[in-house]
Amino acid sequence: MQPIDSFGNAVKKLREAGKLLGYTEENITKLSTPDAVLERPITITLDSGEEKSFHGYRVQFNNARGPYKGGIRFHPNADINEVKTLALLMALKCAVVNIPLGGGKGGIQVNPKELSRAELERLSRAWVRAFFADIGPHKDIPAPDVYTNPQIMLWMVDEYSKLAGKPSPATFTGKPLENGGSEGRSFSTAQGGFYALRELGQKIGMRPRDTRIIVQGFGNAGYNIARIANAAGYRVIGVSDSKGGIVVASGKLDPEDVFQYKEAHGSLQGYTCATASCTVDENSAVTNAGLLEVDTDVLIPAALENQIRADNVDRIKTKAVVEIANGPITPEADAVLFSKGIPVVPDILANAGGVVVSYFEWDQNLKNEHWTEEEVLRKLDEIITREFAMVWLKSREKKVDMRTAAFIISTQRIAEKMGL
C-alpha cells in the first residue's frame, strides 16, 4: 500500500472548501501554511550520567482566532508531516466549534517507555526550556497527546512558572484536577463524540435502543464513548483493540465488563461475556480491521488514521460513521461513502470535545475559577449541538458531505479573522 500524505489530503480538503467560498489561490495558500515550524534539540542527562539529545518540535498553525492550542506527543516515530497535519486540523477544529483558539502540535522523538520517571521529568522540563519563548497562556497552550499525561503537564507548567517567575497554570491544559485541571477532561473527547452521535441519530431517525454501534479502538476515547452510549441505551455490539476484537450477533456488550477484562489481560483476546445480554455462544472474535466490515448502524473509528480506504470501503456495512479518531477515512473512501448516502460526522467536529474542555480549563485558569462537571458537560453539549446543526445545515445547503461542510465553516471563520 502506498504511503498516504495526510497533510496533502488535509490541504486538498481545505482548498476544496476555499474554492467553494470563492477564495483566491493566494489566500488558500495563506490558510494552509503554518505560521511556524519549530525544531530544536532537547538534551538531558540520563540516570547513567550520559548526556543524550532528542529531537523536539512545535508546529504553530494560524493564531488569527486566538492562541495556538494542541498536544505534545512523546513518540519514537515522530513525523513532522503528521504533526503539521494535526496542527492544521486543530486550527480548523477550534474554528468549527467556534472557540477562540488556533492550532498547534508538537513533541519529542523518543520512546518514553525506555526512560525512568526521573529521566521523563527531566525531558519534559527540558522541552519547556527549549520552547519557553514560543509558548504561554496568551501565545501557545500545549496539552497532553500520545504518551503524555497530566503528570507530564504538571512538570511542564511547573517549569514554565519557574522561568516566568510567577504561577502560570493557564499555559498548559490537561493537568491533574487538583492542579488546575478541568472536571470532565478525562472523557471529554468521547462525551463530545456522543453528543454528535445523538444529534446524528435525531437527524436520520435512529432511536438509541434500536441503534447498533461498533467501536474500533478501545483506548480512552473508544472505551468512554462505548460506555456513554451504552448508558444512554444504544446497543454496543462490537469493539476492538490493536490485537483483535469481539462482536455479538445479538444482544449487546457491556463496555465496563470489556474494559475490566482488557485491564486484567492486556488485550481483548479471549474475552468471554459476563452479562446476561451477551452470552459466550454469541461471541465472535474478529481482527481489528475485520471489525470495520461487520454490519452495524453506526461505525465509530476510534483508533488510528487511514483505517477506511479505497481498498476496503466497499465492504463497509454501516448506515453512518462518527469519527473519534483523527483522519480514519481517506479522501477516496470519503467520496464512496458520500455517494452511497452514508453520513460521516468528521473528526474535526466529532472529536472536538477534548479541545473544547481544554478551552474550558484554560478559561477557568485565567479567571481563577473551577466549574462543576455538570456545568462543563452542559457547556460542551451546547457547543457540540449548536455546531453540529450548523455543519448539517451547510452540508444540505451546499449538497456536500459533512466534512466539506465543516471545512467550509471553519475556513470561513479563520479567513474572516485574517481579513481575507
> Which residues form the catalytic set?
105
**358 membership: H or E segment, kind and range:** helix 353-367
DSSP-derived pairing of the beta strands 320-322 and 298-301 = parallel
The burial of 267, by beta-carbon neighbours within 10 Å (0-12 exposed, 13-18 middle, 19 or more buried), is given as: middle
Annotate 222-263 with DSSP letters as a single string: HHHHHHHHHHTT-EEEEEEETTEEEEESSS---HHHHHHHHH
Which one, of 318, 55, 364, lies nearest residue 197 by Cα? 318
> What span, in angstroms and rounded, lies between the C-alpha atoms of 79 and 58?
12
Q: Taking the CB of residue 232, how many other CB atoms lie within 10 A of it?
A: 14
First CA to last CA distance, the chain: 39
Residue 194 cell numbers, joined: 456522543
Q: Is the dihedral of CA 40, 45, 48, 49 positive or negative?
A: positive
Cell readout for 49 is 550520567
Report yes or no: 222 and 189 within 8 Å, Cβ to Cβ. no
| 3-class DSSP state of 371 | coil
